[in-house]
Each structure stands twice: as C-alpha cells, then as structure tokens.
Structure 1
Amino acid sequence: MHHRIRPIRTAAVALSTAALGVGVLTAPPASAEPSPALRAAKAAVNTDSTPSTIAADWITGELTNGLMVTSGKPDFGLTLDTGLGLASVPGHEAGVAAINAAFEPRVNEYVGDGTKESYAGPLGKAAAFSRAAGENPIDYNGTNLITRLEERTADVPADPAAEPQAAAFAGRIFDKSESGNYANVIGQSYAVRALARAGSTEAVAARDFLLKQQCASGYFRLNFAKANVPNQSCTEGEAGSEADPDATALAVINLIESRDTSQVVKDALAKAGAWLADRQRNSGAIRSSGADAQINTNTTALGGYAMGLLKQDEEALKAGLWVRKNQPVDKYKCRTALTKDTGAVAFRKDRSKAAKAGGIPADGRDEWRRATAQAILGLQFAPASKDRFRIESVRDQARAGERVQFRVYGLAPGESACMQVKGDFRRVKGKTKGTKIVRKLLLPTGNQRRVGLVKTSDDEARTWIRVRN
C-alpha cells in the first residue's frame, strides 16, 4: 500500500488514542483482523491515508463512553457503523475496543431480548462488528448471535414443490417484534455476511434470497416484497423494485466480506459493480435514491468503497476524491469555525459552507457523525500525490510589501492546505491533475529571513526568503 511521502510527521496518528479521552479505553483486541479484501484492493492503488485517519480521529472523539449518543440516548446502529469504519483504519484499534467494551454488555438492547423481540438485521450487523472487534459472535456477552439469526431466517421447506410460497422466501430474514417486521435488503446483506462467516447451514439460502433482490440491471432494491406475494424477486420497472445505490453498495460490501467465492456471487458482484460505475457522475459523486434523492457523501462513500473492494480502481479513486473535497480542513492562519472539527465530513457541500462561519450546529451534529462514519470507508480510496510534499519560493530575496510567488508541490488531489508567510495566507487545494500550485503572498516589513510555510491537516513544509525594507 502506498502513501504520500511526508518529510515531517505530526500528531495525526497520536490523536487516534488521545481522542478517546471521553470513551472507555481497553486494550486493543489481539485477534481483530483488518479486512483481507480491503488490503488486497488497496495493494495496487496509490492512496493517501490522511483523510481516513483524520476522519477516524474526529469520530472517535465524538464517542461518549464508547457509544454514539443521539438525542440523549445511545444510538447503537450509528455506534456500529462507527466501529466498522474505525476497524478499516490502521491505528484505531483502541477506538474499536472502546466501542466493543461499551456495546457488548448492552447488545440485547440493539438486537432484542430473544423472546418477544429479536431483530434480524441488527443481529447480522452486531455479528459483523463482533468479528471486526476480534470477538466471537457465537458467544457475545453470552448471546449466540448466529443461532438467534438462524431463528430469524426462513427455512428451506422439505418439499419445495408442495410448499411453493415457503420455498419462495426461503432464506429471507424476518424480525420478531410487537412493533412489526422491518427487515430489509440491507439487513439481509449483513445476515448473509454473518451466517457465511460462521459456516451456518442457512448461509446459502440467505445468500440466494439476497441475490433475488438484485434486478436485471445489476442494482439491489431496498425493501422485500410482502411475504404473501408469490414473486419474491426484484422485478425491474415494478413498484417496490426501484434502484437503491446504498442497498446495492452494502450488498456488494457484505457479499465480499462473506468470503463466498461461488460463481453466482462473482456474477452478481460484477453486475452490481457495473451498475454503480454507470450511476457515478464524472465528478465521482453518486446520487441517492427515493423522493429526496440527492448527491451526498454517504452514498458516494459507500459506492466508492464497494467499487474499491471490486478493484474498480478508477471509479473508487474518483469517489474517494469527491468525498475528500467535502472534508473541510482549515487550519493555522486559515482557521474557520470548523477548525476544531478537522476530519469531519459534511453530508453535502452546503453544510460545510454554512458551518465555516458558525461551526457545526448542535442540531446538525448527528448528520455530520453519520456522514463521517460511512465516509471513512470511501476515503480509504482517496488518491495520493505522485510528488514529494514541499514549498519553494521563486525568488531568494525581495522587498517588503512585494507579492512574491510561492510554489507548492505534493498535495494530494482534493487535499486542503494553508500557504502562509507572516501577515498573509492563502487557502489551497490539491489538484486532480498535476501537482504544482502557485500563489502570491505579501511579504511583511523587516530586514530578515522569513519562512514560507504550507500546512496540511497533519504535516508542514517550509522554505525561506530574504526580505529587505
């Protein structure tokens, strides 16, 4: 895996554990395993680790005693999204462990008590997180998440011909709840991942039902058909079978992480990857679906990460770059009200623009957390610079009050930085093509050597110029 060469190392990695001051610190789990699929996907592409690292640092600092809290209550779903995101970033094992320590004793609050209440999708996601944390989903705080999930997965009938409707939804997950059944395709994909990794005898049926939710064009829909409907498959053009890029991306991610290498899965992944690439805009962004469909970092990050795992490198890098452009980094002389939240990712560009003046509003912080938790994944494929990070002055000396050109090299595409000399500064952003950025800075008074700086979120480079009055 390649990262940009950095001549100066600063505190970005150290923040990974320091930011946990509000959480519960425990030793990192010895058996936690980074995703082999992610490692393999990144081995052949030149990516920059900085944006995912600073996003992980920021969101770790948003934990309260190891949990995400929304409206005064633990938000277990967002907590697990955060944990799965952190598990993808080297150096953040302590954050995953803090989440695990807080979540494990309360797992039944999320998945149900196993008697009156038992929720299939959360069982699958909890099992996925437990593995990422180095725990055993068969005994997670005394709960066998896999057995519980198998109970919520429809069995294959002994005689499918005699029970055609039972055969039609074999492998489908169902919630058991007094509030109703809210299981959907995203939950199904987590269930497939959990059952397959556990070697469950119900894994194949669950996988086959998930694949029924893929339409002919390659996308996955979000919701199942009603249980009494004979056709349980996605049928393009019919109500209820609309394309959903988030469900598609998560189906791809979880199928890959299920480690099912069967031809039927390979074919499904190829079709889904092609559909995601076709939906992606030239900018790298991906629009969500539904009545309020919009371009946003959540959908783009999930789609980009899915395409990255599929080794669709160009598309993944484009998505990672677009997400990075929505990660404001305004530091040093370029400070804004967002500086204290460096690393956070905005859901949309307009959110970032508004927050530069007044900071992240209290009632908008939850949105930034949700955006960042998933953005971490897409940022894994943010492209790196092909050049060495440095700043140069075009002149050795100049007079006070002159505007002199400085050249910056080696900023990664979309990376924010601040160029400065005493009394003047300019915000700059890494180019998509080429690495040289040229800006003029106003020289201060005083007969002395002055330093020209360029500072990023976690690094700096400097040069010198002689100033004469």
Structure 2
Amino acid sequence: MHIAVRQLLATLTVGAVVAGFAAPAQATPRSSAVAAATWQASQLDDHGGIHNDQYDFTDWGLTVDSVVALKATGARPALATKATAYVAAHVRSYNSDDYGQPGVRISGATGKLLYLADVTGSDPRDFGGFDLRAESLALMTASGVNRGRFQDQGTTDYSNTFGQAFNILGLARSGGVPRAAVSFLTRQQCAAGGFRLDPDDAAPRCDQAADPVLDPDSTGLSVQALLAAYRTGNKAAGTAARKGALWLLREQAQNGSFDGSGPTASANTNSTGLAGEAIRAVGRTHLVTADAGRRLLTGAAKAASWVRTLQLTPADATADIGAVAYDATALSDARRNGITTETRDQWRRATPQALLVLARVSLDDIGRQRRR
C-alpha cells in the first residue's frame, strides 16, 4: 500500500461469530462495551493482528486500537496478550513502514506504540527490543515554530494532532512529558475550545488561521491527553482540557451524538465514542464546577445511549453480535445484508473507538484499573 495511506491509518482510527457470547437480560453500557470488545477480538487473525483484506496487509494501527479496546473492558485477556506480542515483534513494520525508506519514523505510530506498551503493562523502554520512550522524544522538534511537535522523519511529514496526543499520553504515563509538547498541543486549540486536526506552520496558533476547522475527534483525544499531562503536574493542561470538554458539550446533538469534521461531518460513533469519553473524564474531575460536572456526565451518558442504538444485538439475527456501526446507514445495511467483505473494515474501525464511551474509562486510565 502507498505510504501516505499507511501513515494515515497509523493515527486515524476511522463474518466472524462471537464465540460464546450471550447477551445479558438487561444490557448496560458496561456489558455493551464488553460485547463490542469481544466482537473486535473475533476480528483478530491467527497471529493476533487485524488483516486488511482490501489491500492485503496487517493493519497495525487498528490492531493497537483493538488491544486498547480489550484492555478497556477486560475482555479476552489472552487474546490481548497475543496481539500485544505480535505488535511488539513488528514495531518497525508500523512506525517505520514496511514500504518506507531506511530511517523513516512515523510519529503518530510511535506514540501509539508507546501508549500501547504502558497500557499493556509492557516495558516502554524495551518493547520488542525498542526504547519507545526515547524514540518518541527523538521525534519532538526542539526549536522554531514547531517546537514541541512530534514529526515524521525520513518521509513526507503527515504528523497531526492525533499523533501529538498519543505521544503525550504515552510519555505522561511512562515517566513524564515535556512541557513543550503540551504547549504545542494547546496551540492547536482555538479560543472557542475546539482543536484542529492539522497544525499549520503559517498559523502556529489555531486562532491565527483564517478559517480553522475545529474537529470533535481531535478535541476528544486531545482533552484526554491533556488530562494525562495535568495529572503529572501541568496545570495549564488541565485548563485546556476543561475548555475543550465544555466546547464538546456545546457541540453535542440533542440525541447525544457528535459529528466529525470534513468527510466525517455527520453523526457517527467514532466521534461520539471519543468525545463522549472525554467529557465524562473531565466531568469526574475537580477542574469543573459541580453544575458543569453534572452536565458533562449527563452528556456522556447520552452519548453512550446513542452509541448503543447502533450496536448489533441478538435481535438483529446476525453473526456479528456486539459490533458497533459507524452510523445509522451502516446499521440499516447490516440488518439487511449482514456485514460484508466490503463493509467490514468500517465496522472494525468504528467499534473500538465507539466502545470507549460505553466502557467508562478514560484513555489515561486504561490498563490501570487493577493497578490502583
């Protein structure tokens, strides 16, 4: 596959039967999250990866997302371990790309690998023989307009806010994150509170751009990364996280859903999963007033309820019980035709991100549930 497509899949996270799955008599967000993660686990191949049938390659980014989903819910722990080992054995296939040039490092993929290592209780300094914390820090620009930005090396730079957030999450959880990295991320936040996906050298601060596109997905992920930085002592990160969460709350539709931006600018479960979990995470902190906290938690509950309406259940008479549709159109099509070879990749991408709001555990807390 062309490197540009592979690198995009590295950071953006847009018929197997679920073995032994039995729906509880009264489904809850938690049980719905477990059902979704169990379905996602059924999509792993014999090696423990997600294989993209359309382009015939192992999708390492989606494999990482799948492991994170399993760790968020506690579902299929043995498969989570197997998939983690498979990723660890192929670090360079992901963060330098099988078809890339020697010396290529993809910053978003590096950040996700670092985050995965900590989430799974692996050693971030020796994951598959690589010091991912050192590799992440080596990709951070030291000076100039991009000071603090994690950028791709040895290839065209496709780094974006998603990759910045994952590197911050990974570093914050594995020993601390440089303030410059957090500052670069907060510069991608406009005064209204939302974050843009793509940094702009000509407009280093979001509000300097002529017409910045504020992206709920980027905002949801950034808010959770900033909470991680805040918990390491960066107070400015907490202020930015609160501001981002309140912006998301204003953007939420009455039915609980969130739109994306650009090609995803309609109600979808990817955006709703990320944004819903972000507002829930901030709502549980002392960063907001009691009233704002209640509104944020109510918004998160509405987001979870909406996501559950797009999840396949035994009533749908399908083999793919637990999978979460990207949107209402995808759900309607699956109810008529099942999940087909052509549509399966979209379901695999929607489910692990959508279930975050159902699992009720922030990205910074995943993997720590039993450590605390």
Letter in 2 for 1:171: G
The 3 A distance-change label for structure 1 pair 83 and 135 is same
Give CA-to-partner distance per residue, 1:340-383, whole Å, 9 cap, x none: 1100011111211121122111100000111101111022249x
TM-score, scaled relative to structure 2: 0.81
Q: Please show how residues 270-349 of structure 1 align to structure 2 within 5 Å.
A: 270-311=242-283, 312-331=296-315, 336=317, 338=318, 340-349=319-328
Contact 1:317 1:381 in 2 (8 A): no
Residue 151 (structure 1) shift: 1.3
Letter in 2 for 1:251: S
- From 18, 39, 48, give the equivalent of 1:58: 39
Task: Find the counterpart in structure 1 of residue 114 from structure 2.
Answer: 127
Q: Which runs of 4+ in 1 moved over 6 A?
A: none
- From 118, 124, 131, give the equivalent of 1:144: 131
Tell me the SS of whatever aligns to 1:123.
helix
The 3 A distance-change label for structure 1 pair 291 and 69 is closer
Q: From the CA coordinates, give the structure whose radius of gyration is larger.
A: 1
Task: Find the counterpart in structure 2 of residue 84 from structure 1.
Answer: 68
Task: Say if 2:239 is the partner of 1:257.
Answer: no
Q: Please show how residues 207-246 of structure 1 align to structure 2 within 5 Å.
A: 207-226=182-201, 229=202, 231-235=203-207, 238-239=210-211, 241-246=212-217
The 1-side partners of 2:157 and 2:217 are apart by: 21
Tell me the SS of whatever aligns to 2:89.
helix
Task: Say if 2:338 is the partner of 1:359.
Answer: yes
Letter in 2 for 1:238: A
The 2-side partners of 1:95 and 1:319 are apart by: 28
Give CA-to-partner distance per residue, 1:113-152, whole Å, 9 cap, x none: 8952111111111000111111011111111111111111
Aligned residues: 321
Q: Which has the higher contact order (CA 8 A, sep 6+)?
A: 2
Residue 260 (structure 1) shift: 3.2
Contact 2:172 2:228 in 1 (8 A): no
The 3 A distance-change label for structure 1 pair 342 and 187 is same
Residue 92 (structure 1) shift: 3.4
- From 374, 383, 386, give the equivalent of 2:353: 374
Contact 2:103 2:154 in 1 (8 A): yes
Tell me the SS of whatever aligns to 2:262.
coil
Task: Find the counterpart in structure 1 of residue 152 from structure 2.
Answer: 175
The 2-side partners of 1:134 and 1:330 are apart by: 34
Contact 1:188 1:210 in 2 (8 A): yes
Letter in 1 for 2:242: A
Residue 199 (structure 1) shift: 2.9
Letter in 1 for 2:151: F
Percent of matched pairs sharing the same residue: 31
Task: Find the counterpart in structure 1 of residue 95 from structure 2.
Answer: 111
Q: Please show how residues 36-55 of structure 1 align to structure 2 within 5 Å.
A: 48-55=29-36
**Which one has the bigger helix percentage?**
2
Contact 1:76 1:103 in 2 (8 A): yes
Worse overlay, 292-301 or 316-325: 292-301
Letter in 1 for 2:154: S
Letter in 2 for 1:244: D
Letter in 1 for 2:187: K
Letter in 2 for 1:256: L
Residue 172 (structure 1) shift: 1.0
Give CA-to-partner distance per residue, 1:154-198, whole Å, 9 cap, x none: 115xxxxxxxxx1x32111110133x0000111001111222233
Residue 48 (structure 1) shift: 3.7
